[in-house]
Amino acid sequence: MDIICENYRLSEAYDELIGADHQPRPAAQPLFDYLAGIDAAALEARRKAVEAAIMTMGITFTVYSDAGNIDRAWPFDIVPRIIALTEWQRIEAGLKQRLRALNLFINDLYNEQRIVKDGVFPIEVLEGSKNFRAQCRGITPRFGVWAHVCGTDLVRDRDGTVYVLEDNLRVPSGVSYMLENRQMMKRMFPEVFQAGTILPVDDYPTQLHDTLAALSPRHGERPVLAVLTPGIYNSAYFEHSYLAQQMGAFLVEGSDLVVKDDDCVYMKTISGLRRVDVIYRRIDDDFLDPESFRPDSVLGVPGLMRAWRAGKVGIANAPGAGVADDKVVYAFVPQMIKYYLGEEPILANVPSYLCMYEEQRDYVLANLDQLVVKPANESGGYGMLIGPRATAEERAKFAELIRANPRNYMAQPTLSISTAPTLIGDKLAPRHLDLRPFVLQSDRMYVTTGGLTRVAMKEGSLVVNSSQGGGSKDTWIVDMEGR
Please report whether residue 77 resides in a domain.
no
Domain count within the chain: 2
222/280 same-domain check:
yes
Q: Has residue 268 been placed in a domain? A: yes
Q: Is residue 306 part of a domain?
A: yes
Give me the domain span that covers residue 259: 218-312
Distance in angstroms (rounded) separating the CA atoms of residues 222 and 314:
14
Say if residue 302 is in the same domain as residue 365: no
Q: What is the CATH number of the domain that holds 377?
A: 3.30.1490.270
Domain boundary among 262, 290, 312: 312
pTM of the model: 0.92
Same domain flag for 306 and 356: no
Cα separation, 252 vs 225, whole angstroms: 10
Burial string for 177-209 (b: 16+ CB within 10 Å, else e) reads: bbbbbbebbbebbeebbeeebbbebeebbebbb
Q: Is residue 128 part of a domain?
A: no
- Per-residue pLDDT in tens (0 to 9) along the chain, 483 residues: 444 555 677 878 899 999 988 889 999 988 888 887 777 777 777 777 777 776 766 655 554 444 444 455 567 888 999 999 999 999 999 999 999 999 999 999 999 999 999 999 999 999 989 999 999 999 999 999 999 999 999 999 999 999 999 999 998 999 998 998 998 888 888 888 877 789 999 999 999 999 999 999 998 899 999 999 999 988 889 899 999 999 999 999 999 999 999 999 999 999 999 999 999 999 999 999 999 999 999 999 999 999 999 999 999 999 999 999 999 999 999 999 999 999 999 999 999 999 999 999 999 999 999 999 999 877 656 788 988 889 999 999 999 999 999 999 999 998 889 999 988 877 788 999 999 999 999 999 999 999 999 999 888 887 777 666 678 999 999 998 755
Q: Is 242 among the domain residues?
A: yes
Q: What are phi and psi of 108, to 5 degrees?
A: -65, -45
* Domain termination residue (choose one: 371, 390, 413): 413
Q: Is 256 helix (H, G, I), strand (E, B) or coil?
A: helix
Q: What is the CATH number of the domain that holds 304?
A: 3.40.50.11290
Q: Is the peptide bond before 103 cis (omega within 30 degrees of 0)?
A: no
Asked whether residue 370 is assigned to any structural domain, the reply reads yes
The answer to whether the CB of 308 falls within 8 A of the CB of 228 is no
The verdict on residue 378 lying in a domain is yes
Cα four-point dihedral sign 330, 332, 338, 339: negative
Please tell me the distance from the alpha carbon of residue 472 to that of residue 453, in angstroms, as a whole number. Answer: 5
Please state, in angstroms and rounded to a whole number, the distance separating the CA atoms of residues 130 and 148.
21
What is the rounded CA–CA span in Å between residue 171 and residue 365? 32
**Residue 254: inside a domain, yes or no?**
yes
Helices (H) and strands (E) in the chain, counts: 14, 23
